[in-house]
Structure 1
């Protein structure tokens, strides 16, 4: 989906900033003259950032972006094509994906981290300015509780018991503690299943 693709570009830009290579996509890191000894270093780093960018693009369309000479030209073209996508559309798409996720055949760890990746993407679009620390903490707790409910609701039926024990607590424990409790239940069930199989 194009919307998820553009979300990936937002994540790419954040990662590039952390790597200290943002100048290659903004154009601030100017290309030296070809006969300048610094040109080979610039060219190698430009190629590296371009490779990162192309690899962050969906395979279905990445081949369209292989012919640009500089990262900035590639970046500008991608943004021209997709920057009119609103944050609301991206948030909507991510929310739809969250609504569809269930544990299914996945382990608890894989299921939880699938949710966590989408939550992290959503967090990129949530920029709040709080008037007080109390309001901020209250909002964070509400968001965390919502995520706990989502995680528990998507578990397979065999985790109903641990799900009930967690929901029965007030206030809800932190999400890390909830994950640990469910993991322990998964391990316990795996051991019990192994004993039953050995007994047969």
Structure 2
């Protein structure tokens, strides 16, 4: 329960602020990563229980709990903040937010599919366009439970998922990249989307040098 000098109540661990069920998945994932880096997940999962009133560790536990609680408060909307500001236990607040907002929202999943299907490069650079796609893919993954076993079915699904991402990325490119897009689709086996991004990004850089 050691507190590092950088563990201050005013710290913003993540840039994403929780507003409701529409971004709970992204927010909770970012917070878990940050809390894991700080070695403080035990204060939200209940594994670090509050010591008894006579324990010499009680004061230190209360300090750590207050720090984690402040980190949560720093990353929620003003409306949610007003509802948890009088709370005293980080685990209880985390559990309450999870129960309220950790719901698979069918309308949001539908919306993400639409956003992915309609996203095109337009005036964006390859990097910005790909980053926007990645954000949508990651949000979708946070809302839907995907197979994670090492079985053949899981491997086949992951291969299909990679192929879908590759096609989504290529379809949204400007027509000026039609040539390299066709070359990419003729590769056997097809590259994963990250490799395709690297190839097309290099093409973009090459054009910039020539221009």
TM-score by length of 1: 0.75
What whole-Å deviation, never above 9, does each CA across 1:111-165 have from its counterpart, x for those lacking one? Answer: 21222233233334333266843x3332222111100111112223322222222
- The separation in 1 between residues aligned to 2:207 and 2:62, in whole angstroms, is 55
Aligned to 2:180: 162
Contiguous gaps of at least 5 residues in structure 1: 194-200
Q: 1:52 to 1:168 in 2, by over 3 A?
A: farther
Number of equivalenced pairs: 190
2:161 paired residue among 122, 143, 148: 143
User: Is this contact kept in 2: 1:91–1:122, CA < 8 A?
Assistant: yes
State the match for 2:189 in structure 1. 171
Does residue 104 of structure 1 match 2:122? yes
Aligned partners of 1:13 and 1:22 also within 8 Å: no
Give 1:172 shift: 1.4
2:114 equivalent to 1:69: no
1:7-156 equivalences in 2 (<5 Å):
7-12=25-30, 14-15=32-33, 18-19=36-37, 20-32=39-51, 37-57=56-76, 59=77, 61-64=79-82, 65-83=84-102, 85-86=103-104, 88-124=106-142, 125-128=144-147, 132-133=151-152, 135-156=153-174
* Change over 3 Å in CA distance of 1:121–1:76 after alignment to 2: same
The 10-residue stretch of structure 1 (167-176 or 28-37) with the greater mean CA deviation from structure 2: 28-37
Greater share of helix: 1
| C-alpha RMSD over aligned residues | 3.1
